[in-house]
Amino acid sequence: MTKRSNMVQSLVRALDIIELLDREGELGISEISNTLGLEKTTVHRLISTLKFKGYVAQNKSNQKYSNSFKLFEMGNNVVEGLGLRRQAQPFMEELAEKSHEAVNLAILNGKHMFYIDKIESSETIKVDLRIGKRLPVYCTGLGKAMLAFMPEERVHELFKGETFVKYTKNTIDNVQGLMLELRRIKAQGYSIDNEEYIPGLVCVAAPVMSFRGEAVAALSVAVPKYRLEEGERDLGCLIGLVRTAAEKLSREMGHMG
């Protein structure tokens, strides 16, 4: 039996709807139908089931649908089960106090980094990367910090046949370039996202290691580039602060390296 023939089509379609609503926000039956190429009756049946189970909510004023908080609550339960946020909190607070910039904690979710916690910068101009946001792993400091400490064969398998999107002129857009960057990151112990996903944004990140010696998360400081260029922040200082925080959290999780 093939992988595709083993799928439950109605379940795949329902998940397609959830993913579409996640990307687009509120949509009506016709909009969902047109986007996914499904019959309106099929969409109505699926959306009614998702609503009954609490996964989508309907706006009574315009009759459109959006994802409910149930998915967030489920994801939050998974994160809490890992215990990462609780353990990371004091180290994130210390890093935020010393860096005066936004601090992020993220884990690997397929080919994306999933932001599970953050501390806002106290600055008027700040970086907005909300909890629950998913960003491509290959063009973020957090993602590269984790990839660098994975076996190279696993990285190759992860990006087999991948089409790299070039978000900015600095985005790495091929596996060969990524592998060279990851080897450099592993040797130095930290990564830098130099406007690779968002123009004007620099992120310094370091991996959080488990007692097994595996990268289970990453910590970062995100800073508008102009503050580095104008001398308000020192890149070397930020690198040291991020590495120290990640190393302290890693020891808290039992890493002996």
Establish if 1 belongs to a structural domain: no
Q: In this predicted structure, which of 62-76, 141-155, 183-197, 223-237 has the lowest mean pLDDT?
A: 62-76
What would the pLDDT profile of 176-202 be if each residue is shown by its tens digit?
A: 999 999 999 999 999 999 999 999 999
User: Could you tell me the residue range of the domain that residue 52 belongs to?
Assistant: 9-68
pLDDT surpasses 70 at 76? no
CA-to-CA distance for 186 and 73, rounded, in angstroms? 35
Is 4 part of a structural domain of the chain? no
In the listed set 68, 90, 115, which residue is the last one of a domain according to the structure?
Answer: 68
CA distances from 224 to 182, 199, 201, 235 (A): 23, 9, 5, 12
For residues 95 and 52, state if they share a domain. no
Same domain as 15, residue 137: no
In this prediction, residues 202-231 reach a mean pLDDT of 92
How many residues in total does the chain contain? 257
Quick one: pLDDT band at residue 78, thresholds 50, 70, 90? low
In a domain, 257, yes or no: no
What total number of domains does the chain contain?
A: 2
* Average per-residue pLDDT for the chain: 88
Instruction: Please give the pLDDT value at position 31.
Output: 94
Q: Is residue 3 included in any domain, yes or no?
A: no
Percent with pLDDT over 90 in the chain: 63
Question: Beta strand pairing status for 56-58 and 112-119?
Answer: unpaired
- Average confidence (pLDDT) over 5-31: 88
What angle, rounded to 10 degrees, do the helices at 9-24 and 40-52 form? 80
Q: Are residues 53 and 80 in the same domain?
A: no
* CATH code, 91: 3.30.450.40
pTM of the model: 0.68
- Classify residue 2: in a domain, yes or no: no
d(CA 236, CA 64): 49
Q: Of 84-88, 177-181, 199-203, 204-208, which gets the smallest average pLDDT?
A: 84-88
Q: Which of 27, 42, 68 is the last residue of a domain?
A: 68
CATH number at residue 26: 1.10.10.10
pLDDT at position 134, please? 81
